Structure 1
């Protein structure tokens, strides 16, 4: 390998590293072994609005793609997303810049779970509907107030409410 080729490769690697650091910094943190600082987040979803549910899941997906370890807490009408067989009344359209086209909140939620996100319903969701755990999608849990309160109190864990 010539010195010119070696220098070109080193310059390209340095440019890529600088670009990745700049991108991470523009999103509020520095890159650390592929993960952003503050790599955990709690998303609490209560809305029954299809667009709000969809946007919450789209943003959660973007956070997960940027290296965030997600915990989703579904309460009130949003808890229905966690029920096996639940289907939104219609798909939502994504922005023209997103090639996904039409998606559903529960479809994105399932994708998030497949990539490691923890999804739970509020502790009072099932008892207030006379349902048992058997109605929940595989992998969805029931949140215990103590651990959720710990996450909410942890200043290093951002909490997003929709």
Structure 2
């Protein structure tokens, strides 16, 4: 079953990245899932998009917000032997813009001091504007 999920995810990533590679400016990703495999798929598709020379805007909400917190670890997954958090940091190094939902920190009893360097608090009007931008494809997990 895991192999099937992996193969389907790879095929989906190729279809998604190839179908808008020439037409779109990039990808908006809204990630709320707590599941490590789902988080990893969001990271893989984001990386593939960046490798196509496109932009990635990611907003982390709910349990996915834990990925933005210093010291909170995430599960290492095969076949890459990387965690979603490791992949998050890699996409940020490649230029992805990553923001945390403004509801996450106060509801988790945290403040901006716990965020990984480079992650900022999202401003809902800006996120809405980006999500409505037809030059970007939006994926939500």
* Compared CA separation, residues 58 and 117, structure 1 to 2 (3 A): same
Q: Is the 8 A contact 2:26 2:49 kept in 1?
A: no
Residues 33-66 of structure 1: CA deviation (Å, up to 9, x unaligned): xxx3312211010000011011110111111111
Q: Which runs of 4+ in 1 moved over 2 A?
A: none
CA RMSD of aligned residues (A): 1.5
Unaligned runs of 5+ in 1: 1-25, 31-35, 95-100
TM-score, length basis structure 1: 0.73
Match among 75, 78, 81 for residue 93 of structure 1: 78
Q: Which has the higher helix share?
A: 2
User: How far has the Cα of 1:29 moved from its partner?
Assistant: 4.7
> Residue 157 of structure 1: which of 113, 116, 136 is its match?
136
Q: Secondary structure at the match of 2:134?
A: coil
- Which of 60, 84, 99 is the matching residue for 1:74? 60
Structure with the greater alpha carbon radius of gyration: 1
1:107 to 2:86 alignment: yes
Q: Mind listing any 5+ residue stretches in structure 2 that lack a counterpart? A: 1-16
1:29 and 1:93 map into 2 onto residues whose CA distance is 28
Matched with 2:103 is: 124
Q: What's the TM-score once normalised by structure 2's chain length?
A: 0.83
Distance in 2 between the 1:161 and 1:145 partners?
Answer: 16
Count of aligned pairs between the two proteins: 125
